[in-house]
Amino acid sequence: MDRDTLHRFLYDMLLARAFEERAAQEYSNGNIAGFLHLYPGEEAVAVGVIHAAEPSDYLITTYREHVHALVRGIPARQVMAELFGRRDGICKGMGGSMHLFDKQCRFMGGYAIVGETFPVATGIGYSIALRDLPEAVICFFGDGAVNQGTFHEALNMASLWNLPVLFVCENNHYQIGTEIHRHSAVVDVYKRACAYNIPAEKLDGMDVINVYEATRHALAKIRAGNGPQLLEFETYRFRGHSMADAGNYRPRSEVSSQASRDPVETVIHEAGIGYPSQAEIAAAGPDLVDQLVCHVSATGHFNEQHIENVRREIDDVVEDAVQFALSSPSPTLQDARDSLYCNRRHETLLEASHHD
Amino acid sequence: MTENLMLWQALNRALDIEMASDESVFTLGEDVGLYGGSYRVTEGLYAKYGEWRVRDTPISEGGFTGLGVGAALTGMRPVVEIMTINFALLALDAIINMAAKIPFMSGGQFPMPLVIRMPGGVARQLAAQHSQRLEHTLMNVPGLRIVVPATPQDAWWQLRQAIASDDPVIVLEHELLYFEKGKLDPVTPPPPMHQAIVRREGTDLTLVSYSRMANLAVEAAQQLAEQNIQAEVIDLRSLSPIDWETCARSLHKTHRLVVVEEDCRFAGAGAEIAAGLTERCFFDLDAVPVRVAGLDMPTPFNAELEAASIPRVEDIVSAAVQLTGTASRSG
């Protein structure tokens, strides 16, 4: 892995964490309302997967999607302004936290109904396959989504027609407050894919390099014409389901033990100077050692100062995003009507009441 | 150029023309391909365009309707056929939460050039789960357009206009109309997709209806003429948006309104039509608007009960006679 790639991972993961923590603060300040689902703990999945994709690939995701949007390249300003419900938000304040879209980035939306994205991803895949384009679609979903009928319907069709869809499970072990053992008869999500003859595997989702390599490998198989693939990344969210959730259903010991697997700390560690200590090697587990040593030695190093500079740069980006959002006006009802009727061609509506 | 053909043939030709002229148009649904479509609408298209553009799907309404949404997001123009509107209940998330809302939620970034065709209505002894209309459910969804063609001519143009539209459009077809014949004039420019048409001129009262019931209203008007009652018949053609202007012009002339619908009366489309026109035309009206509608019950299987559960021509005639018998306009 080259230094630039590592640098981008580092930057995006630090940005993701800082952005989300600031969003939580702005929620408490009353600048963000509604449901706010934050991503700390899961950054390695978004960063690893999205960096493995090409700009020509499509992404579709869930209501916990701010970080996906940021990593995909939507400016923090426009994401924050959307969370604030302002006119300069990426969706002009019509979508909000759970519905970020960016046509240019092929960011096909965050969706707030669990499981509804599978068919849409399949449709995007169908359109790619029909036109025989060298593209793919990546569909993010949580472990709770696999019990919806749409999961099974979509996997069946994607496999039947060999569509270029990468299904990415962000398995954080909870559907809102119900732990996976209590919501799924089969707790290994990847095993369900075999029912539809879709190759699948389960991986550590706390290690960004691991996520990146696995995704690249899966996308290469898709581009070679092997049809859909499914990756299950085991991860963990450090916060509750949303800002409205204090997370009382989780034992404190569980949360703190997961915190030691913090993916942001992991990437700093991997990008850091020198070789890991014996104790760190033992703690990381044998699978990570080769990778770690290899990357640190072969790719050039980042020192503490560098990481500190990145942090400061990100603080400025996030502060700027908040100021931008604060200074953006609220959209008007006319803006809302324009969003609703923007696609009506050829015809003038007769309903005067809509334009009073 | 004008010829007589059945409504399914008009739809079939409309789809064929659009598929031939635009490669982004494709159709999918249960049995639309090899089988040729349950009501023959896609007949011959599989052989002509191949399986990628005429796709037989598994029985997965939620899945393949959502697939249509995804394809539309990338600029394709999918025409999803749901075998009957009864099965659309399984696809309401894709229709209501996605197709109708994505253009809006994205701040206008994503058009939704999706067409969803589905037959509905009370047919012949199909019983409660295969005989209903759900237009009221869909009418309550901002962002959707709903067209309800009653003639081959309208079916032909409205399907083509729906495919050309960047809005999500539901084409509600009626199972009993597929094999009815009518004129098709492919040359005369069509009215806009949502515009109502006056199917028959009259001065004594206005019958407002749509789909198969509009044809029954025309029949009723013919019978009323024999009793010297001149009914004006308006075929709405579109339930969202509704062309209020055409209706209001008529009521300004006739002062009496009968709304005819096949669906259950309670909270149905007729309730909106009657309320909307009362608000707009209150001072033109000589009497309380009358709704002739289906009974508030699931469709019975028994043929006689089935027939009695929805409006018949004689029901429309008798409502009209009763209404015109009320006190004439004062002043």
Domain layout of chain A by residue ranges: 3-271+307-334, 274-301
Element (H, E) at A204: strand A200-204
Across chain A, what does the average pLDDT equal?
A: 87
Give the model's confidence band at A285: pLDDT under 50 very low, under 70 low, under 90 confident, else very high: very low
ipTM above 0.85, yes or no: yes
Q: Please report residues of B whose CB lies closer than 8 A to that of A129.
A: 52
Chain B nearest CA to A141, separation (Å): 16
Q: With 50 as the cut, is the pLDDT of residue A353 above it?
A: no
Q: Please report residues of A whose CB lies closer than 8 A to that of B193.
A: 347
Give the model's confidence band at A345: pLDDT under 50 very low, under 70 low, under 90 confident, else very high: low
How do residues A301-325 score in pLDDT, each as one tens digit?
577 777 788 889 999 999 999 999 9
Residue labelled with tokens 């509804």: A116
B positions 282-301 inside 8 Å of A (CB)? none
Catalytic choice (B18, B30, B81, B130): B130
CB contact under 8 A, A109 and B106: yes
Q: With 70 as the cut, is the pLDDT of residue A133 above it?
A: yes
Residue of B nearest to A109 (CA): B106
CB contact under 8 A, A101 and B60: no
Q: Please report residues of A whose CB lies closer than 8 A to that of B80.
A: none
How do residues B47-93 score in pLDDT, each as one tens digit?
999 999 999 999 999 999 999 999 999 999 999 999 999 999 999 99
Alpha helices in chain A (DSSP H): 3-28, 43-52, 66-72, 76-83, 117-131, 149-160, 180-183, 189-192, 208-221, 252-259, 263-271, 278-284, 286-298, 304-327, 333-341
Chain A nearest CA to B318, separation (Å): 32
Give the model's confidence band at A286: pLDDT under 50 very low, under 70 low, under 90 confident, else very high: very low
Residue A269, pLDDT score: 67
How do residues A156-167 score in pLDDT, each as one tens digit?
999 999 999 999
Contact A94/B at CB under 8 A: yes
A positions 154-213 inside 8 Å of B (CB)? 154, 156-157, 160-161
Contact A345/B at CB under 8 A: yes
Residue A288, pLDDT score: 32
Give the model's confidence band at B11: pLDDT under 50 very low, under 70 low, under 90 confident, else very high: very high
Q: With 50 as the cut, is the pLDDT of residue A114 above it?
A: yes
Chain B nearest CA to A59, separation (Å): 11
CB contact under 8 A, B143 and A340: yes
Q: Which of A277-281, A314-318, B279-283, B325-329 has the lowest mean pLDDT?
A: A277-281
Question: What domains sit in chain B, N to C, each tagged with a CATH number?
Answer: 3-184 (3.40.50.970), 197-326 (3.40.50.920)
Contact A321/B at CB under 8 A: no
B61 counts as catalytic:
yes
Residue A349, pLDDT score: 47
From the list A103, A125, A153, which residue is nearest B63 (CB)? A153
Residue A344, pLDDT score: 74
**Over residues B138-149, mean pLDDT:** 97
Residue A299, pLDDT score: 54
CATH number of A3-271+307-334: 3.40.50.970
Give the model's confidence band at A355: pLDDT under 50 very low, under 70 low, under 90 confident, else very high: very low
Contact A168, A140 (CB under 8 A): yes
Q: With 90 as the cut, is the pLDDT of residue A155 above it?
A: yes
CB contact under 8 A, B62 and A119: yes
CB contact under 8 A, B166 and A345: yes
From the list B58, B60, B66, which residue is nearest A120 (CB)? B66
Residue B214: C-alpha distances to residues B159, B220, B237 (Å): 18, 10, 9
Neighbours of B53 (CB within 10 A): 19
Residue A270, pLDDT score: 62
Disruptive mutation site among A344, A355, A356 for chain B (greatest number of B CBs within 10 Å):
A344
Catalytic choice (B18, B30, B61, B306): B61
Residue A292, pLDDT score: 32
Q: Please report residues of B whose CB lies closer than 8 A to that of A119.
A: 62-67, 69-70, 94
Is the pLDDT higher at A248 or at B71? Answer: B71
Question: DSSP 3-state assignment of B45?
Answer: helix
Residue A185, pLDDT score: 94
Element (H, E) at A229: strand A229-234
Q: Please report residues of B whose CB lies closer than 8 A to that of A350.
A: 194-195, 241, 243-245
Q: With 80 as the cut, is the pLDDT of residue B306 above it?
A: yes
CB contact under 8 A, B106 and A347: no
Contact A133/B at CB under 8 A: no
A positions 275-314 inside 8 Å of B (CB)? none
Roughly how many angstroms between the first and final C-alpha of chain A, as a whole number? 59
Contact B94/A at CB under 8 A: yes
Residue B151, pLDDT score: 98
**Over residues B97-102, mean pLDDT:** 98
Chain A nearest CA to B322, separation (Å): 32
CB contact under 8 A, B105 and A350: no
From the list A89, A90, A120, which residue is nearest B69 (CB)? A120
Q: Please report residues of A whose CB lies closer than 8 A to that of B191.
A: none
**Over residues B234-258, mean pLDDT:** 97
Contact A101/B at CB under 8 A: yes
Q: Please report residues of B whose CB lies closer than 8 A to that of A87.
A: none
Contact B164/A at CB under 8 A: yes
**Over residues B190-196, mean pLDDT:** 93
Contact B244, B195 (CB under 8 A): no
Residue of A nearest to B106 (CA): A91
**Over residues B165-175, mean pLDDT:** 97
Residue A135, pLDDT score: 98
Apex A43 CA angle, A37 and A47, nearest 5? 125
Contact B50/A at CB under 8 A: no
Residue of A nearest to B142 (CA): A340
Cα A148 to Cα B77: distance, rounded to the nearest angstrom: 27
Element (H, E) at B326: none
Task: Please state whether beta strands B25-29 and B3-6 pair in parallel, antiparallel, or not at all (unpaired).
Answer: unpaired
Percent pLDDT > 70 in chain B is 98
**Over residues B5-27, mean pLDDT:** 98
Q: Which of A137-151, A178-192, A235-249, B171-185 has the lowest mean pLDDT?
A: A235-249
How do residues A8-34 score in pLDDT, each as one tens digit?
888 898 899 999 999 999 999 999 999
Q: With 50 as the cut, is the pLDDT of residue B29 above it?
A: yes
Percent pLDDT > 90 in chain B is 96
Give the model's confidence band at B143: pLDDT under 50 very low, under 70 low, under 90 confident, else very high: very high
**Over residues A246-259, mean pLDDT:** 78
Is the pLDDT higher at A257 or at B155? Answer: B155
B130 counts as catalytic:
yes
Give the model's confidence band at B331: pLDDT under 50 very low, under 70 low, under 90 confident, else very high: very low
**Over residues A256-284, mean pLDDT:** 60
A58: left (phi over 0), alpha (psi -120 to 50) or beta: beta
Q: Which amino acid would we find at residue A95? A: G
Residue A170, pLDDT score: 97
Q: Which of A42-56, A276-290, A326-340, B5-19 has the lowest mean pLDDT?
A: A276-290
CB contact under 8 A, B245 and A350: yes
Q: With 80 as the cut, is the pLDDT of residue A298 above it?
A: no
Chain B nearest CA to A296, separation (Å): 41
Cα A125 to Cα B242: distance, rounded to the nearest angstrom: 36
Alpha helices in B22-134 (DSSP H): 45-49, 61-73, 92, 102-105
CB contact under 8 A, A101 and B143: no
